[in-house]
Structure 1
């Protein structure tokens, strides 16, 4: 009887059960609100944001790039903070670990469906840094309720959706892969520009970084660095254009975004 009842649960009921289990876990973790005004950023991103980091209790809209999200999370994770990713079922854990994310302190909620607001609200009780892809447009009333909860708990949200009254916008653009020769070679690393614009700094600030770098994380790009046989940047980033067929080997760069 028990098994038959479970199998008859609707997707909405199953998600409701996941929310209840999540709340029980959160009750055991008991995070205290941090008094730090910012969450740290990797040194390669120094100067990108005022105060040197992500302002706590706020929302940033970011490019839907897993590698950018990992880069923004890595310093806080290395310092021992918990992170979470909501509505991102294709995130690569290997790429996350290479970026410096502590997987033992990473919470994944791959498919919250329409309950994303309840999930993020619950996570904000104990997780200082959350990345989210809501999958649907965010209504102003939803944004206002969640923003109030984030301010109260000192939790910071990175969302791939436009956000009403957000703290800022962080974008990844102008990517260039290195390592290709005349129709052959190995895609080794990628150089990109990361640009941030916030309420307090309306003039955009940009840094040029290698993402992923030689070790998988984010590294400051050399000012006079060159690239060999650059693949069309925006089309490769979206995965709609592949490198030439004669490439001998290509790493799984798509898992890193």
Structure 2
């Protein structure tokens, strides 16, 4: 037990927390599960004492954990979340965009929080870095397999935000139902962590989705993609059933940033067309 915890502490101290951490955190969850099943505590101590010591040492590892009940998100997304931030202990569902899910992590990551991504093997790490996610504080577990739930539960003990892709109906991998989601939510509240799901999640505090999008930069058979304007809609019980929408660059020109689309004044398009026609008459 001590060796396992010391190994994780060393990883945090040296900034070497990578996918290898998944095996270590999973081992911690197995130790705790064995105690829950009535196994023997090391050195003859009571089971509850061992678990409490383990939890206390894990909480002390992340020296840069944000000490607040609200974790910041990307400024362009703040209006789409209740209270303008990610609530510690909360769950959020994102549909249709990995970029949007990663952007939710940006504010907390930039402020020094550790984040984890579970079950997303095709994650673009460079894109995550371009969006402002600190790769030195990012744990990747691309293939959790049948241990999906155990890995997520263990990471909730250690990091501030866990981005997950819920498992499909594969053999041996349980679906995420109300009961499972409820147990994870209880753990999130205890650890003051946040879960962001790529896909639906039972009783999520907010559900965000890209409802409309158009890429910019490609003309009639020429050009290259430079950015995407997207309408992002958010629904939350906190808003009494009234969704909120915002037009964003997702990603913005250059393929990395996320920014609000600046609305053009009414009549601007007509004025531009009139100006172009005047220039054509002069040239003619």
* Common fold: TM-score over 0.5: yes
The one of 156, 160, 164 aligned to 1:128 = 160
Query: Of the two structures, which has the highest relative contact order with CA contacts closer than 8 Å and spacing of 6 or more?
Result: 1
Q: Which of the pair has more CA radius of gyration?
A: 2
CA distance in 2, matches of 1:20, 1:181: 48
Normalising by structure 2, what TM-score? 0.68
Structure 2 counterpart of 1:65, from 83, 97, 113: 97
Aligned to 1:177: 215
Displacement of 1:23 after TM fit? 4.7
The answer to whether structure 1 residue 158 and structure 2 residue 189 are counterparts is no
More helix by share: 2
Q: Say if 1:188 and 1:222 are closer, same or farther in 2 by CA, change over 3 A.
A: same
The 2-side partners of 1:131 and 1:181 are apart by 36
Q: CA deviation at 1:28?
A: 9.1
1:99 positional shift: 0.5
Kept in 2, the 8 Å contact 1:133–1:161? The answer is: yes
Instruction: Report the counterpart of residue 139 of structure 1 in structure 2.
Output: 177
Alignment match, 2:24 = 21
Q: How much has 1:153 moved relative to structure 2?
A: 0.6
Which consecutive segments of 4 or more residues in structure 1 shift more than 6 A?
Answer: none
The whole-number CA distance in structure 2 between the counterparts of 1:160 and 1:19 is 19
Equivalent pair of 2:21/2:139 in contact (CA under 8 Å) = no
Residues 1:213 and 2:216 aligned together: no
Work out the CA distance in 1 between the residues paired with 2:136 and 2:60: 14
Q: 1:138–1:150: structure 2 CA closer, same or farther, 3 Å change rule?
A: same
**Are the counterparts in 1 of residues 66 and 112 from structure 2 also a CA contact under 8 Å?**
no
Q: Which residue of the other structure, out of 30, 35, 39, is the alignment partner of 2:61? A: 30
Q: Is the 8 A contact 1:49 1:205 kept in 2?
A: no
Please, what TM-score do these two structures have when normalized by structure 1?
Answer: 0.75
Matching of residue 101 in structure 1 with residue 128 in structure 2: no
Unaligned 5+ runs, structure 1 = 1-16, 227-257
Q: How many residues align?
A: 211
Partner of 2:106: 74
- Unmatched tracts of structure 2, length 5 or more: 1-19, 29-56, 169-174, 269-284
Residue in structure 2 matching 1:46, options 78, 86, 92: 78
Kindly provide the CA deviation profile for residues 96-123 of structure 1, in whole angstroms up to 9, marking residues without a partner as x: 1110111000100001112111111111
1:149 shift after superposition: 0.4
| SS of structure 2 residue aligned to 1:169 | strand
